[in-house]
Structure 1
Amino acid sequence: MKNKTLLTGLGILALVATLLVAADHIDAPHSMGTSADIADFYAFEPTVGSDNTVFAVDLQSNVLPDLAYGTFDENILTEINIDTDGDLVEDLVIQAIPRDGKMYFFGSVAPSSTGLNGMVMVNSPLGSVDISTDTAIVETTEDGVSLFAGPRQDAFFFDFFQFNAVIGGMAPEGFKPAGDPDSTDDDDTTAVDTFDGANTMSIVVELPNTILGETTAMNALGLSVYKTWVTTNAKQ
């Protein structure tokens, strides 16, 4: 695999403590419906007090069960950017790019350049995994890094139709949020997950914090965190 110059297509930001989520579903016209379209980004400890961090990137959020699964575009590089000193400039990068049915991961290392342009860091391999189809495949390396790439059910809960009704001033009388003890499954005033059963194309990395190193970045609560965001980069 040769180094390739890439151009950022879309990015989203999340600050990591225990679990923080950013959502950005199908609203980028030039990337909508492709694996360049970032839907959600999750970063969290797999268990409380764990010495590992999980990064989960959901792409192409409109993959429905009755349609063919999408595929990862081989011209798209996904980058997980990690800020360790609080200046919102990436100090470390984890990269993922597909080739011939496998997802290849690189990092976590300092990028050769920050901002919009990036290079595939072929000299810093993290591991690879077969892209899953019907059965989930997880590869764990000798360094304790677990990798996954493939379709997963969309974890984002959103009542799209009630949202449109609310912002249009047409919410039904007595509307109850999901989980309301007075709501019932057949109550048309109860929130429902419009995208239940829909899928995304997901990239997941779990790795020891020793690979990420120390962080001095702080969140609003004064907790030490990794500040992290995702970009999808298209080959020039």
Structure 2
Amino acid sequence: MTVERRGVAVGLGAVATLLLAAWVSAAGPVGVFARKDFSGKESPTPGDDFGSVKAPPPKGDGIKTADVRHADPWIVDAVELLMKLVLAIVVVIVLVAIGRALLDRWRSREAVDDQVSPTDIVPDVLLDAAVEGERQLSRGTPANAVIAAWVALEDACRSAGVRDDDSRTAAELVTAVLRSHRVDRAPLDTLAALYREARFSRHPIGEEQRTAAREALVRVQADLRQTLARLEHERSVSR
């Protein structure tokens, strides 16, 4: 069962449990456990004589209530307290279950964000794409330059054969691939935001956005170079 279905099941169970607890609390222990005979009428009160004249039943909507004239008050209070404790425990259990379901869903989304495509892209290919993106930033208008810088990263993923389903956008896929090579998320988020701004916004894109994109790409290149150095060190040690 997926996390989303588990969350729905927990939610429905929580609603059903709370409705049942609310009904029991509203009915009260006496109303719930009142004795009735098979005809739906209350059992006769002990001590009533069959020959005595009984007062006519009060007119109403037909709802019969239990005769509690001989119920001990401390028993009623004890049962009510017990039911309140049970209701409180049920509420706590439901809240804990919902919290765990939400936490599992959040963790699963984090795992999807950082999931790597089955096709492995070597970091030097991504580094070349980041360098090419920086070169693109020096050409054309700021808007076109920012778009070209990000497209260079997307093209590197496509040329390596990375494919994904419809659960993630192209920007999310590029971010996941770069994250798999220990690239910090902050410059990737900056580049993706600048790309969306340059492509879809109607306000002008200026040199400020070009500069921000260049700084982000420099940080991406630095992280990829560190990854390459680490891999080279591991290969040299294993020899």
Structure with max Cα Rg: 2
Q: Relative contact order (alpha carbons < 8 A, sep ≥ 6): 1 or 2 greater? A: 1
Scaled by the length of structure 1, the TM-score of the pair is 0.25
Which structure dedicates a bigger proportion of its chain to strand? 1
